[in-house]
Structure 1
């Protein structure tokens, strides 16, 4: 695989980024000719990689197409999916699926986070369309590799940030980009989820979540239906224990996931990323409990600094998870459990998944909203299916999603290193922290190399 360097893309105008028929500014990344020429009413042959949990939900959303292959390291999940699609060929190892590229046109990847890039990259290299659950990859270097491969493949891609398709986000983006609250210099994003290495206060918040403090020394029997070696994939080898499976237990462990930051950050930071045309932060600083070598934190705070963009000022974006909350909520802002607060020169906008308001409310009592200029989504999965067949763009393509994923992972990187990071996006390195390199591009277990089908 070619070296990954100097890959930052040029800026897109806000209108091009949001324009009808050019969502995400990715019209050039169209489907290959053999599918562009096909009838939009024809059915795709889709391979499902990861059939349980989110995989089962994603499979249901694309079940109107031809499901021709099923792949899962868990035999029980595979058997359950086969009841719905008995004609589909079955695989335990997705690398073997890619030995039969003529079988399918597109893949849906819903594995554990640490194998996302490994399941996605071969599809792109083969010119197959890809839908991948969030976060797009487990690491920063992986996100850049996937972005580069997607550019070359020119296929339809979509990351599973389903809320991006809802109307509420569209109306918020229109308000921000129509200058309703003036230039935005500050954004706060907070989520109440407290999964990870919990303090007693956090455990009280989520008493239904099993708290884990250290790597277990006990070795539990591997469930008969699970191929543990395949599930580990590129991650360092370790004995099986019930604290890792089933999901979402695994996502708290750095070897397999990145905790709440990369998971919910994909949904919540998506809104300011979209509205403000964000890409690469200049600096990243985090605070929270003492970093743990193996486990992501339940609570933490990350502050990103972004430079000016196309007439927009530089801004500070702060992320809060678990018990952390913005101080500004003490000043009369509605204290929603989860939210995004844009602070502009002429007002504020508060949003969550399904509602939003302009603040102070009395000052916007007679405000006239802009006419909608972002078209309704066909639906997050339908948008991808349509793009596969027609070459039309998707809104959470891997170019956009790759930048969002990189930024979220940088938040965790700053937390783990315990210092303010200065980020050189072109070089893919922290200029003031060479010790970050092994976390940006981690080593893989023998037999697993990104860019190769073993």
Structure 2
């Protein structure tokens, strides 16, 4: 690496660390104000989750769909049937060649191209809604967080559960001391997408059970632009084990397995309620890491320092067959997925839609605090209202970026094979060389993030 490149990277890290050191950092927001009072929005990725985002956001009468983009011709044709006046693209890089009539962009591509579809919008000063996880790796999360702060636009990561009333009530209970000081949290999910035996894959409802990268090639479907789908990932022949989604989740080149898929939703609750920032130490447990495929089952422990009047806390993550000891010993209800907060005055168990204060007998007469987390009009609608200057988003990139970083660090520790001591300012592990897992080292030509 040249001295110039090293200098540029040091300068980038210094600037970026200043942004993410404070999750609640604020910046001036560009709100929408035009005679037509309509938002012109471009949609990148319009099938699956993207199709759902398109349907929900476009149902707002103040939204005008001006551009559609998808590498899947079937998805694009289907969306274009409804929005006949919208420009059509299969390459989002070409979409960004004409942005004068675009106010905002919705990104719903595969995980490995989230940052690449988001960064041009931020640089052009466009508001962005991006599906979870925000990025494919730690370096991208830091870069997107900084770019959003610089742009001063309205952003939202697609963690729809964040808008639900159950999460709101849990945050209120934890932050008002319902169970006292929390020094331990356990989050587990039953899903097990990743490396596992064919028998386990069938039992867990996995999509594929291959153990290594296929050596044979297959002809891509005629409606799929495989080269554009690969994006920044190194070229490889098409095979049905990668496409369609969610098959690609399990491959490191394209996703980060269960942690990346569900960590955005499940770790969000503890991150929000406990005002977490950057962990200083991360350790992961599981089978020997595979060079190509994320693990189906694993666990990780994040150690966070004290924050204001909140004590230091250890956050434990479990996926697949891994579960907390207290769960395995049946000392708590056997929920398939959940988050357990352990305080010095009790425990709180939550999933997406319900929560319990434990031991239940000790909380029979408990009076919940008056709600102080505002109700959400809906995760998508909140983003639209924020653009119009009528609200604030609940999961802006200033929050979602650091959350995404923390999630990725669990996988980084797993792939390194040892605990990592994390220096968030320098964006590096201080006790081991983890650089190759923090960023995509060799993106394909034409796919640089900068």
**TM exceeds 0.5?**
yes
Aligned equivalent of 1:155:
153
SS at match of 2:342: strand
Residue 364 of structure 2 is aligned to residue 365 of structure 1:
yes
Matches within 5 A, 1:195-274: 195-199=193-197, 202-207=200-205, 209-274=207-272
Cα shift at 1:204: 4.3
Matches of 1:305 and 1:387 in 2, distance apart?
34
Cα shift at 1:11: 7.3
Gaps of 5+ in 1: 13-23
Which segment drifts farther, 163-172 or 199-208? 199-208
Distance change >3 Å, CA 101–CA 391, structure 1 → 2: farther
Contact kept in structure 1, 2:278 and 2:304, CA below 8 Å: yes
Superposition CA RMSD, Å: 1.6
Number of positions where the alignment pairs a residue of Structure 1 with one of Structure 2: 435
Cα shift at 1:5: 2.4
Contact kept in structure 1, 2:198 and 2:209, CA below 8 Å: no
Pick one of 57, 71, 74 that aligns with 1:62.
Answer: 57
SS at match of 2:284: strand
Matches within 5 A, 1:50-89: 50-63=45-58, 64=60, 65-89=63-87
Aligned equivalent of 1:383:
382
Contact kept in structure 2, 1:8 and 1:425, CA below 8 Å: no
Residue 336 of structure 2 is aligned to residue 337 of structure 1:
yes
Contact kept in structure 1, 2:43 and 2:54, CA below 8 Å: yes
Aligned equivalent of 2:42:
47
Matches of 2:21 and 2:249 in 1, distance apart?
33
Which segment drifts farther, 193-202 or 347-356? 193-202
Aligned equivalent of 2:189:
191
Contact kept in structure 2, 1:281 and 1:305, CA below 8 Å: yes
Matches of 2:73 and 2:210 in 1, distance apart?
27
Aligned equivalent of 1:3:
12
Cα distance per residue 1:163-193 (max 9 Å; x no partner): 0000000000000000000010000000000
Matches within 5 A, 1:406-417: 406-417=405-416
Matches of 1:369 and 1:201 in 2, distance apart?
46
Cα shift at 1:212: 2.0
Cα shift at 1:233: 0.7
Matches of 1:212 and 1:193 in 2, distance apart?
17
Distance change >3 Å, CA 353–CA 66, structure 1 → 2: same
Residue 130 of structure 2 is aligned to residue 132 of structure 1:
yes
Contact kept in structure 1, 2:207 and 2:246, CA below 8 Å: no
Matches of 2:232 and 2:223 in 1, distance apart?
20
Contact kept in structure 2, 1:196 and 1:212, CA below 8 Å: no
Cα shift at 1:411: 0.3
Matches of 2:41 and 2:28 in 1, distance apart?
18
Matches of 2:18 and 2:335 in 1, distance apart?
36
Cα shift at 1:208: 5.6
Contact kept in structure 2, 1:202 and 1:298, CA below 8 Å: no
Aligned equivalent of 1:20:
none
Cα shift at 1:236: 0.8
Distance change >3 Å, CA 91–CA 11, structure 1 → 2: closer
Residue 92 of structure 2 is aligned to residue 94 of structure 1:
yes
SS at match of 1:342: strand
